[in-house]
Amino acid sequence: MSQTQTPWFMAAVVMSLFALGGVLFGRFEQHTPPARRIAKQVLVVSVFMVVEVFAGRPWSLGLLGLFGAFFVGVHGWWLPRNGVNGLTAEPYDVYLELIGAKAPRAPTSGFPVAQFRAARPVRSLDKVREFYGEGLGLPVIGEFRDHDGFSGVMFGVPDSRAHLEFTQGPHLPHERPHPEENFVFYVPDGAAADALVRRLAERGYSEVDPVNPYWRQGGTTIADADGFRVVVMRSTGLG
């Protein structure tokens, strides 16, 4: 019997494919414990050897073809259809949510923060209210007028624990904001995220192309009246 006709040859082929897959697609398995990954490989190799011994080479090759078709379908169609890159698994939190795995819990900190505010100068508070209030639907949690020449409005994200402040005053913002100056809103509900994008589009704010390809993976980037960008990500965000 030729050495290529033995069950061990088929086992070597399957193990080689596992090794190649680990190099090219290892990102998809990094959340899986090593013992579980090894057990999966042993199980798959054992199945192929059993088929090879009791059914013959044509059946084991057919099974290999089914595995290949399934792999191509998942990485070439199903993952991209659900907003995940089939080659890189990005955004990884979306991938984990998609397969039902839990994202790693973020480390805790003793940093004693009661609130967080991101402040930004703008040219028109009316346009800010239209974009962030009417469009995104953020609640106004505070505002002020003519404090030493400055007026402003604050929006909760989603409440006063974290909020955005926009000010209008004698010092105009710089002319060209960098395209990576993003406010990113993580919206797990895809229908709700689509509704936000539609509301902004109805007010004349259409999608722009992000410079960072990461924001295309399940996200929609939209520029406000000052050119600053908001990313609506269809994701739960960090775990």
Average pLDDT for the chain:
85
pLDDT of 239 over the 60 cut: no
Is the pLDDT at 231 greater than 90? The verdict is yes
Q: Are residues 75 and 128 in the same domain?
A: no
Q: In terms of residue numbers, what domain contains 172? A: 116-233
* pLDDT at position 109: 62
Instruction: Identify which has the larger pLDDT, 93 or 168.
Output: 168
Residue 172 inside a domain? The answer is: yes
Mean pLDDT of 33-38: 85
pLDDT band at 32 (very low <50, low <70, confident <90, very high): confident
pTM: 0.55
Which pLDDT does position 198 carry in this prediction? Answer: 94
pLDDT at 58: 86
Pairing label, strands 182-186, 140-147? unpaired
On the question of pLDDT at 76 being above 70, the answer is yes
The residue from 81, 106, 138 where one domain ends is 81
Is position 109 within any domain? no
- Residue 196 structure tokens: 């936000």
Same domain, 121 and 210: yes
Mean pLDDT of 142-157: 91
Show the DSSP H helices in the chain as ranges: 7-25, 34-54, 57-73, 79-81, 92-99, 125-128, 190-202
Give the mean model confidence (pLDDT) for residues 175-180.
80
125/202 same-domain check: yes
pLDDT at position 3 = 66
Q: Give the pLDDT confidence of 101-135 residue by residue, as tens digits.
A: 765 555 666 767 778 889 898 989 999 999 999 99
CATH at 215: 3.10.180.10
Task: Identify whether 157 is part of a domain.
Answer: yes
d(CA 167, CA 133): 15
Contact 155, 141 (CB under 8 A): yes
Instruction: In whole angstroms, give the CA distance from residue 137 to residue 29.
Output: 38
How many residues appear in the chain? 239
Looking at the fold, whether 126 and 74 belong to one and the same domain comes out as no
Q: Are residues 125 and 182 in the same domain?
A: yes
The predicted pLDDT at position 25 comes to 83
Domain count of the fold of the chain: 2
Q: Which pLDDT does position 34 carry in this prediction? A: 84
More confident residue, 198 or 27: 198
Q: What is the predicted pLDDT for the residue at 17?
A: 85
Instruction: Give pLDDT, residue 94.
Output: 75
